[in-house]
Amino acid sequence: MHFQVRAITLDLDDTLWPFAPIGARVERVLHDWLLQHCPRTAEQFPIEAMRALREAVYVERPDLSHDFSQLRMLSLIRAMELSGDDPAHADAAFETFYAERNRVEFYPDSLAALERLAARVPLAAISNGNADLARIGVHHHFAFQLGAREHGTPKPAASIFHAACTQLAIAPGEVLHVGDDIEMDVVGAHRAGLRSCWINREGHTWPHELIRPDLEFTTLAALADWLDAAHQPDTAAA
């Protein structure tokens, strides 16, 4: 299938890099920091207990469901207060977490594919997570990054897709959204009027009958191949 694509919006976690290794690693690194600087907090809230506290804070603050960074900070402050440590340490603890959160390992095809895609059309990142493309070192491939925290509403809300299209100054129907998540990325983009591409690295079966992605690939490199082919001049009439 070929159609006009004037810009691409990209999900980040589990599209450009796997998130599971990051999620496991940041908890260990944060706990090690707490052991050194806030030992009472580390003792009262080892990794499992800290995770449970964080989930409780999430339930308490549904108004911050779009802001993982603020929820993480509130969880750290709560843990330190309950443990008798100085909550002033929360800023340094968060920075330790956030530096590790942005230490990503790209899928093998991602970096080369990003460069190829950016050479064809403008790229913008749309993410519910709190990755920082500047810290990661790939911001130069993107026109901008739009997070749920900055926008105020997460995917799959149509408004975050429309905000990206407005910033790109391109109509939704000419923007292709690319991501791994069936509901957040593909269904969300479809309902917002964008084209959609499902990056299905694990070979999952599509679950919906009435909504389907416009494109489906197992790698980002395959999308770059498709976009290259779509930009080749039509020589059929030559």
Point out the residues that are catalytic.
Answer: 11
- The two tokens of residue 16 are 């450009």
Q: Amino acid letter at 211?
A: I
Q: Which DSSP symbol is given to 204?
A: P
Displacement of CA 27 from its chain's centroid (Å): 18
Beta pairing class for 175-179 and 7-10: parallel
- The two tokens of residue 150 are 């900055």
- The two tokens of residue 46 are 């080892």
Cβ atoms 223, 113 nearer than 8 A: yes
CA nearest neighbour of 168 among 131, 123, 129: 123
Residue 198: its H or E element: strand 195-199
